[in-house]
Amino acid sequence: MSFSVRTAHLTDLPIIYEFICKLEEQALDFELFEEIFAQNIQHPNRHYLMACHDQQTAIGCASMHAQKLLHHCGLVGEIQEMYVLPQYSSLGVGKLLLEALKAIAQRDKCVLLEVTSHNKRIDTHRFYDQNDFIGTHTKFVMKI
């Protein structure tokens, strides 16, 4: 099988919406999602990628937002979303997306690449552990 990664485009909105809804295990508000995606995709420090099978069929996506943080004295890339269709998991697609995000972080001179993953995603935690991420923090959230 041949896999590739490319920059996502606004025309990828429907499939990215589908993937993120699967990732979040819920139907998100499409109009709001579309508005946010259209804004984010134009921002120079926000990167959206598509993983494809045979150059055409979308099988996954990933995003990274970078920002300058005082407590790191530099640009920090944070993986926001990553999703690979279940039938393609364990075939190297996630690693391919991760390597592409890492290359962007290196190109942009990020001092750190971070990711947060829900406690229930044990397999995802294992994936990041196996790919040189170190579990150093606990994230707390408050719904507003």
Give me the CATH number covering residue 9: 3.40.630.30
Note whether residue 66 is domain-resident: yes
3-class DSSP assignment, residue 111: coil
CA 102 – CA 82 distance, rounded (Å)? 13
Give tens-digit pLDDT for 41-58.
999 999 999 999 988 899
Q: How confident is the model at residue 7 (pLDDT cuts 50, 70, 90)?
A: very high
Note whether residue 38 is domain-resident: yes
Domain extent at residue 35? 3-130
Note whether residue 46 is domain-resident: yes
Note whether residue 15 is domain-resident: yes
Judged against a pLDDT cut of 80, whether residue 21 lies above it is answered with yes
Note whether residue 77 is domain-resident: yes
Q: How confident is the model at residue 138 (pLDDT cuts 50, 70, 90)?
A: confident
Q: What share of the chain is helix, strand, coil (3-state, %, to 5)?
A: 40, 30, 35
Q: What's the number of domains the chain is made of?
A: 1
Quote the pTM value.
0.94
